[in-house]
Amino acid sequence: MAATVTLQIDGQSITVAAGTTLLNAAAMAGATVPTICYHEHCTANALCRLCVVEVEGARVLAPACVASVAEGMRVHTRNERVERSRRTILEMLHSASDVSEAPEIQQQLDDYHANRERFGGGERREAEVIDDNPMYIRDYSKCILCWRCVQVCAADAQFTYAINFSGRGFETSISTFFEQSLTDSSCVFCGQCVGVCPTGALKPKREWLLEQGQAPADILDATRGPGKKRRERK
Amino acid sequence: MAPTASSSIIHLTTAAQPHIDNPGHSGLLPALIKAQKQNGYISKPVAAEIARVLQVPLAEVYGVIEFYALLYKEPTATRVIRICGDPACAIAGGHAALEAVCASLGVSPNTATADGGFMVERSPCLGLCDQAPASRVNDMALGCIPVAVPAAIIAAKSLAKPAVVGGSLRHLTRRCGTGATPSLAAYTTDGGYSALTKAVQQLTPAAVIAELKSSGLVGRGGAAFPTGVKWESAANASGAEKYIVCNADESEPGTFKDRILMEDDPHAVLEGMALAGYACGAQRGYLYVRAEYPHAQQRLAAAIAEAAAGGYLGNNLLGSKFCFDIELRSGAGAYICGEETALFESIEGKRGFPRVKPPFPTTAGLFGKPTVVNNVETLCNVPLIIGAGAAAYRMHGTEKSPGSKLFCLSGDVARPGLYEVPFGVTLRTILDEMAGGVSGGTLQAVLFGGAAGAFATAAHLDVPMTFEDLRKADLPLGSGVVMVFNHTRNLRSVLEGLAHFFAEESCGKCYPCQLGTVRQHEILGRVAAGHARAGDKELLADVGWTMLDASLCGLGQTAATATLSAIKLWPELFAPNGQAQTARTS
Ligand SMILES: Cc1cc2nc3c(=O)[nH]c(=O)nc-3n(C[C@H](O)[C@H](O)[C@H](O)COP(=O)(O)O)c2cc1C
Ligand code: SF4
Ligand code: SF4
Ligand code: FES
Ligand code: FES
């Protein structure tokens, strides 16, 4: 295989290493391709499809985060066809999940002139906040199913496998074994999932309690682990 | 039987191990299916025990249980009555039957009667569309259920007639529709296994592939990929471990061809798989059959045992150096597992999420190894081609679409059934001359290719049924579905029903389909209810094109083709308050 590949991105010719993703090639060509599910340190599963671009001659749009460059490819990172998909995905996402605490998605909604009310009245992913441990809360009405938490809990980082999915399709949710409490699961409270969650669905408990208007002293009491206080230890 | 708490504990200590025949992750789905069969559901302790023995993380076991519609984590009922709600059955009274059965048992759908005796569910297409409305009570398939007599449905009485198998050519279906499944002896007497014998004794694998390529056979599972080319690339792939997978997940609404082939001619499927194994250098085949086909599974299991005993499967088969085994696998209620990479995930014991392609199956498929996956009908063509030669095979059909094709006729047609014809006959010939024409009125529409297909009208009756002509007419051949709707049918309800199917069956992996199938269903729901809003047509077009253009797999990419074709043909269906002035609403 040739070491480099030359292709056109938005009319501009560019030569990149073979195997480069369209996302990275576009960045080198100075084009910004929006992403949601993609995360540098997680397996890319091409879920959100916000990064789709048009490759001339292809039947459907290509997800830039996983699609590789090919010799002679002609790529359009933002045309009407691409915008239609991106805008509709954003509108539908906004109609299903609470993305109010996801500033990047808010920005993307604006960039693509998405109508936030377009799918108003549709079924939403409503869920009660799960407050079952002293470390973090889970508010799955904010979940956009980016899979990052599942992946860092599993083979992308922690190899703990405490969480996976329940349901399928629109009804999918992130879940422990038979919805058991995280404290009964294999969770080691490493916090990696909280770190990669883009929407505030997973949130440190202290931050959440502050938002609920609790006093800092009460919060400390509520979130201290079950063990003895440090200064009481011998 | 709904087990008591104590019986599930007994189960844990005495019966958990027998669930498990296959070690490791790949044994997960078979183990869960076995547990489901024994207890009617999979309790938390049983799931935990299975996880422990197979060494699969607990959360993943739960994820798998939750993915498949026919695995339950709570007790069900002694008798689970599933009534098909997809279009061929819906227009024959499927919804009414479901309501009547629920009313007569005094329950709502998906909840068991107080004594745990019965539970009623709406089912996706059961592959009995020629006998609509169809139902399944536990493992019993019931066709032509009496809509007005719920007691008969509850008692699992069927009025099914023997399947109609017809058409102007009887190559693939020569042994089908007789009411008897040929034994190994009957199959070999009829020339069966002679192609396999010829191949392993006289032909090199390369010669088998060459013959297949010159036959022009393309896949019958929907994507129409040239079979010989697929085999060649698997044969050329590096690595000694390779697999053949027969895709018998047939769940496309309106499709029942593979069921009839498997039930009536199981050895032909096995022979096709063994030939694929020989040509590609694979030693193992997996035959993945949807859970809703227990009858086909039984006959295939019996045929596999017979073939192995007869030396047609196993080590050094027919005295050659070639070794080939076939393992039968069952699905557990998920249309998406017919998508080839989701099917691999399912065999590997995972949720049936389609994979990102590339890599393609022929380089990295099942267990990451080079894999050929073919449809049942595709594989049944192979013994014919190798037996008689490509030239003889090409005597039928057209230059670009050689051979014969199976069509599944259902809906408003006088003689619904399976019809085999050479490529090139027109829809009119199949519909009017073979199947007796439209019943109950005049032709309004044909759903062509399946739920993932498109609508045709009387204007398409003279299109020759070939890949090339259908492509020109913008009609996907799909899985050979011809579902007929007469002029009295409400197409808005039909569209709503199709949208319901996709919303239920989306795996949820990618956003366009996960969200779009639900939004499409909601919009078509209000259109069908006569509450279309201004702009709904444009909304449907945006959702539809986004699913088509941006979805990860073929499910999302085709979840709106029927809707988009309807928008083109009958834009007035989607107009606000349009229900008052059009005829298509009765
Ligand atoms: C959602 C979905 C469902 C599918 N279901 C089936 C099926 O039930 N049977 C089948 O043979 N192919 C099915 N396919 C097509 C397979 O992915 C694959 O193309 C086919 O099995 C290849 O075999 P062939 O080349 O013999 O057609 C499905 C595809 C999609 C996207
Ligand atoms: S909880 Fe957060 S990280 Fe996990 S899938 Fe949902 S949005 Fe992604
Ligand atoms: S298109 Fe639908 S079925 Fe296919 S991966 Fe996406 S969500 Fe799953
Ligand atoms: S960023 Fe590429 S699919 Fe989500
Ligand atoms: S069995 Fe009802 S539509 Fe196929």
Ligand nearest to the CA of B411: 5
Write down the pLDDT at residue B266.
98
Rounded to a whole number, what is the distance in Å from the CA of B39 to chain A's nearest CA?
18
* A110 found inside a domain: no
Residue-wise pLDDT for B407-433, tens only, equals 999 999 999 999 999 999 999 999 999
- Give me the CATH code for the B79-154 domain, please: 3.40.30.10
Confidence class of residue B582 from pLDDT cuts 50, 70 and 90? very low
Whether residue A118 lies inside any domain: the answer is no
Residue A146 forms part of a structural domain: yes
Q: How do strand B135-137 and strand B140-142 relate by DSSP bridges?
A: antiparallel
> pLDDT at residue A178 above 80?
yes
High-pLDDT (> 90) share of chain B, %:
92
In the prediction, which pLDDT does B248 show?
98
Separation between Cα atoms, residue A76 and residue B274, nearest integer Å: 45
Fold of domain B491-574: de novo design (two linked rop proteins) (1.20.1440)
Per-residue pLDDT averaged across B91-98, rounded?
97
Q: Which has the higher per-residue pLDDT, A185 or A221?
A: A185
**Residue B422 in contact with ligand 1 by CB distance below 6 A:** no
Cβ–Cβ < 8 Å for B496, B422: no
Percent of chain A with pLDDT over 90: 90
pLDDT value, residue B23: 66
The answer as to whether A13 is a domain residue is yes
Q: Read off the tokens for A140.
A: 């799955």
Confidence grade of residue A226 (pLDDT, cut at 50, 70, 90): low
Q: What pLDDT is attached to residue B585?
A: 41
d(CA A131, CA A136): 7
Starting from the edge strand earliest in sequence, which strands make up the sheet with A74-76, in order? A12-17, A4-9, A74-76, A52-55, A62-63
pLDDT for position A222:
79
* Contact (CB, 8 A) for A20 and A6: no
| Model confidence band, residue A155 (pLDDT cutoffs 50, 70, 90) | very high
Interchain pair A164, B63: CB under 8 A: yes
Of B287, B336, B341, B375, best ligand 1 pocket probe by most atoms within 8 Å of the beta carbon: B375
The overall longest dimension of chain A from CA atoms, in Å, is 71
Domain-located, residue A115: no
Q: What band does B402 get if pLDDT is binned at 50, 70 and 90?
A: very high
Distances, alpha carbon B23 to alpha carbons B13, B67, B153, B290, B353, in Å: 19, 21, 40, 22, 22
Pairing of strands B284-289, B140-142: unpaired
Last residue of a domain, one of A49, A65, A81: A81
B356, A63: Cβ pair inside 8 Å? yes
CB-count exposure of residue A195 (10 Å: 0-12, 13-18, 19+): middle
| Percent residues over pLDDT 70 in chain B | 95
Closest Cβ–Cβ partner in B334, B505, B519 for A92: B519
What is the dihedral sign for C-alpha A16, A20, A22, A25? negative
Instruction: Provide mean pLDDT across the span B22-46.
Output: 92
* Per-residue pLDDT, B179: 87
Q: Over the stretch B292-305, which tens digit does the pLDDT of each residue have? A: 999 999 999 999 99
Q: How far is CA B270 from CA A32, B56, B346, B404, in A?
A: 52, 32, 21, 20
Looking at the structure, do residues A141 and A215 belong to the same domain, yes or no? yes
Min Cα distance A225 → chain B (Å) is: 24
pLDDT at A217: 87
Residue A123 lies in a domain: no
| Mean pLDDT along residues B41-55 | 95
For residue B497, is pLDDT > 70? yes
CATH classification at residue A171: 3.30.70.20
Domain B170-393 has CATH 3.30.70.20: no
Q: From the CA of B343, give the closest atom in ligand 1.
A: 17
- pLDDT of residue B578 exceeding 70, the answer is no
Architecture field, domain B404-486: Roll (3.10)
Q: Which chain A positions have a beta carbon within 8 Å of B60's beta carbon?
A: 161, 164
The one-letter amino acid code at B20 reads I
Q: How far apart are CA B207 and CA B228, in angstroms?
A: 11
- B542·A171 Cβ contact <8 A: no
Name the band, by pLDDT with cuts 50, 70 and 90, for residue B20: low
Q: How far is B49 from chain A (nearest CA, A)?
A: 13
For residue A80, the one-letter residue type is: E
ipTM above 0.90, yes or no: yes
- Chain region(s) in chain B for CATH 3.10.20.600: 404-486
Tell me whether residues B515 and A166 touch, CB distance under 8 A. Answer: no
Q: How far apart are CA A172 and CA B394, in angstroms?
A: 48
Tens digits of residue pLDDT in B282-333: 999 999 999 999 999 999 999 999 999 999 999 999 999 999 999 999 999 9
* Single-letter amino acid, residue B571: P
Chain A contacts of B504, Cβ < 8 Å? 169
Q: Which of B228, B255, B35 is nearest to B126 (CA)?
A: B255
In this prediction, residues B379-385 reach a mean pLDDT of 98
Q: Would you say the CB of residue B420 lies under 6 angstroms from ligand 1?
A: no
Q: How far apart are CA A115 and CA A109, in angstroms?
A: 8
Query: Is A137 a residue whose pLDDT tops 80?
Result: yes
Question: What's the whole-number mean pLDDT along residues B213-225?
Answer: 96
| Cα B437 to ligand 5 centre (Å) | 20
Predicted pLDDT of residue B22: 59
Site to probe by mutation for ligand 5, drawn from B83, B126, B255, B447 as the one with most ligand atoms within 8 Å of Cβ, is: B126
| CA–CA dist B420, B433 (Å, integer) | 13
Shared-domain flag, residues A69 and A146 = no
Structure tokens at A189: 């409270």
CA of A166 to the centre of ligand 5 (A): 27
pLDDT number for residue B34: 95
Contact A165 B351 (CB under 8 A): yes
By the 8 A CB rule, do B73 and B41 touch?
A: yes
B335-347 pLDDT, tens digit per residue, is 999 999 999 999 9
Chain A contact for B519 (CB, 8 A cutoff): yes
In tens, the pLDDT along B440-484 reads 999 999 999 999 999 999 999 999 999 999 999 999 999 999 999
Peptide bond into A34 cis (omega under 30): no
Phi, psi of A55 (to 5 degrees): -110, 120
- Specify if A109 maps to a domain: no
What does the mean pLDDT of chain B come to? Answer: 94
Both structure tokens of B184: 């190994």
Ligand 3 within 6 A of B507 CB?
yes
Task: Tell how far the Cα of B181 is from the centroid of ligand 5, in angstroms.
Answer: 23
Q: What is the pLDDT of residues B147-174, one digit of tens each?
A: 999 999 999 887 777 889 999 999 999 9
Cβ separation B514–A85 shorter than 8 A: no
Ligand 2 pocket test, candidate residues A98, A144, A152, A163, most atoms within 8 A of CB: A144
Question: What are the pLDDT digits (tens) for A33-66?
Answer: 999 999 999 999 999 999 999 999 999 999 999 9
Query: Is the CB of residue B411 less than 8 Å from the CB of residue B91?
Result: yes
Residues of A in contact with B67 (CB under 8 A): 165, 168
pLDDT for A186-213, tens place per residue? 999 999 999 999 999 999 999 999 999 9
Cα–chain center distance at A137: 17
Averaged over B379-398, what is the pLDDT?
97
CA of B296 to the centre of ligand 5 (A): 17
- Domain with A203, as residue range(s), is 136-225
- What's the domain count of chain A? 2
**Smallest Cβ distance to B62: which of A87, A122, A175?**
A175
Nearest C-alpha neighbor of B313 from the set B401, B218, B197: B197
CB of B117 within 8 A of CB of B173?
Answer: no
Give CA–CA dist A145/A119, Å, rounded: 19
Instruction: Find tokens 């129409």 and name the residue.
Output: B224
A158 vs A1, which has greater pLDDT?
A158
What one-character DSSP code corresponds to residue A130?
B
Model confidence, pTM: 0.95
Boundary (domain end) residue, out of A62, A81, A100: A81
CATH number of the domain residue A63 falls in? 3.10.20.740
